[in-house]
Structure formats: structure tokens, C-alpha cells
């Protein structure tokens, strides 16, 4: 049995931006020389109260499936597919008020395999600006994903693969690699562990990049309270 659900949503952001100079800004946001807007949060940073006057419209289509239950059994329900289209309109008097059209697709035909893709398309003759995709495989204790990454603004084209192995009920080991398909080399390799307890957890990760830069991170998370961590970088 299948069910189709349509969810329209509208988000309005209005920030006057007056007398906000005393607020600390740890994330300054991202700016681009191409004029392509990456979205409000990515543009101004998550903790910066910059001026904003924009409206974002979302349209989500969801396909749910339910198995036919046998006697004395409950049916199995899951979300087979979800597709969301969104676009932002800036209500300021500017020449190009419509921002990139963004699409996000997730397909989960069963519990073992899944697919995800997202893309950003500029409506003012710039065309496709960003696209990502992943195929995911899930088995008891092991998961694996692989897929391409494309970003025209950052001039990146690479293939990313990631795996996660559940060693114990509270201990996971994960690794990831990103391969630059244009340069023919690995641009980044990661390996780490997640060790969870009843009220706290520890995450440790080692990152190695192609420019001989290494980074080691350790994060202690007090569940429900917060987290603290440190990282060390070294160049060789």
C-alpha cells in the first residue's frame, strides 16, 4: 500500500539589523565572487544578525509504503521517497531577486539500499551550480556510501566514499576518502571513532589532506548539556 503526501511550506525571514554590533560573530558566513546566493544561513553565518528581507517557498512530496500485515503481526511502514523543491525570493529592490532553485531527493526502496541527491540551479543564466549524490548500502553492523560531488563556485569535482563499522553496541569506527577526479589524487582522508556511554560520548578523528596538512580532533560530549573539544594541526 502506498500513500502520497504533499507538504507546502513558507518561511519568512525579516531582520532589521540595527544595533547588533556587540554580538559576537564566530561564523562570518560564505561569500562568492560569482554573485550566486548560497542561502541566508550560509551567506551571513549562523550567528550573525545581518539584514534580511526574504521569503522561501518549499514544496515537498512524500511517498510512504506499508506492507500487508499477516495475522497477529503489525504492518511495516517506511518512507520510500521524499522530494523537496525550494526557492528564495529577496524582497529588497534588487535586479535579481530570485535565488537558486534547490532540489533534494531521497529514495529508500528497502532497508538495505538508499539513494540521495541534491542540486542547486541558478535561474539567471548561470545554470547548475552545485550537485551531489550518494548511493548507500546498509547491513547489520556495516554501512557504506559512495557518490560524486560537484560545485561550480568552488571549482571542485570529486568522488567521496564513506564506511561505518559498528564494533560494539556503543563503539563505531568510520572512515572516508575524497578523490579529485580532475587531478587524479585523494584530496582528503578521514578515520575516526565514536564511543558512546549512558550520559557522555567521545569522538576522535584524524584528517589528512593532499597538501600535507594533518589534523587530529577530540570531542567530549555531555549528552543533554553540551560538548567540548580540541584539534591540532600539523604540516609536513
58-102: per-residue pLDDT in tens? 999 999 988 777 787 787 888 999 999 999 998 888 888 999 999
Question: Domain limits of the chain?
Answer: 1-140, 155-236
pTM above 0.75, yes or no: no
Q: How far apart are CA 22 and CA 25, in angstroms?
A: 9
pLDDT of 183: 82
Supply 97's cell numbers.
Answer: 531577486
Hunting for cell 559498528 — which residue is that? Answer: 166
- DSSP strands (E only) in the chain: 2-15, 52-66, 77-90, 101-107, 113-122, 127-139, 142-151, 156-168, 171-180, 185-196, 200-209, 213-222, 226-235
pLDDT of 41: 53
DSSP category for residue 70 = P
pLDDT of 191: 95
- Give Cα 70 to chain centroid, integer Å: 38
Q: Annotate 6-63 with three-state secondary structure.
A: EEEEEEEEEECCCCCCCCCCCCCCCCCCCCCCCCHHHHHCCCCCCCEEEEEEEEEEEE
229 band by pLDDT with thresholds 50, 70 and 90? low
Please state, as a whole number, how many other Cβ atoms lie within 10 Å of the Cβ of residue 37: 19
Nearest to 161 by CA among 141, 175, 142: 175
Q: How far apart are CA 144 and CA 166, in angstroms?
A: 12
pLDDT of 204: 94
42 band by pLDDT with thresholds 50, 70 and 90? low
Amino acid at each position: 500500500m502506498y500513500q502520497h503526501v504533499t507538504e507546502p511550506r513558507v518561511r519568512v525571514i525579516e531582520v532589521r539589523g540595527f544595533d547588533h554590533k556587540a554580538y559576537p560573530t564566530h561564523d562570518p558566513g560564505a561569500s562568492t565572487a560569482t554573485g550566486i546566493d548560497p542561502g541566508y544561513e550560509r551567506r551571513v553565518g549562523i550567528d550573525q544578525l545581518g539584514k534580511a528581507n526574504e521569503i522561501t517557498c518549499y514544496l515537498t512530496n512524500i511517498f510512504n509504503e506499508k506492507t500487508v500485515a499477516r495475522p497477529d503481526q503489525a504492518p511495516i511502514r517506511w518512507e520510500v521517497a521524499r522530494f523537496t523543491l525550494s526557492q528564495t525570493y529577496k524582497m529588497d529592490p534588487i535586479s535579481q531577486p530570485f535565488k537558486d532553485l534547490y532540489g533534494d531527493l531521497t529514495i529508500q526502496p528497502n532497508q538495505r539500499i538508499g539513494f540521495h541527491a541534491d542540486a542547486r540551479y541558478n535561474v539567471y543564466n548561470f545554470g547548475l551550480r552545485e550537485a551531489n549524490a550518494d548511493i548507500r548500502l546498509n547491513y547489520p553492523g556495516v554501512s557504506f556510501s559512495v557518490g560524486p560531488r560537484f560545485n561550480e563556485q568552488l571549482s571542485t569535482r570529486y568522488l567521496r566514499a564513506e564506511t561505518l563499522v559498528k564494533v560494539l553496541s556503543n563503539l563505531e569506527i568510520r572512515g572516508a576518502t575524497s578523490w579529485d577526479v580532475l587531478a587524479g589524487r585523494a584530496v582528503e582522508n578521514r578515520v575516526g571513532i565514536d564511543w558512546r556511554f549512558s550520559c557522555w560520548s567521545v569522538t576522535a578523528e584524524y584528517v589528512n589532506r593532499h597538501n600535507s596538512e594533518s589534523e587530529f580532533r577530540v570531542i567530549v560530549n555531555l549528552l543533554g548539556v553540551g560538548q567540548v573539544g580540541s584539534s591540532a594541526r600539523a604540516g609536513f
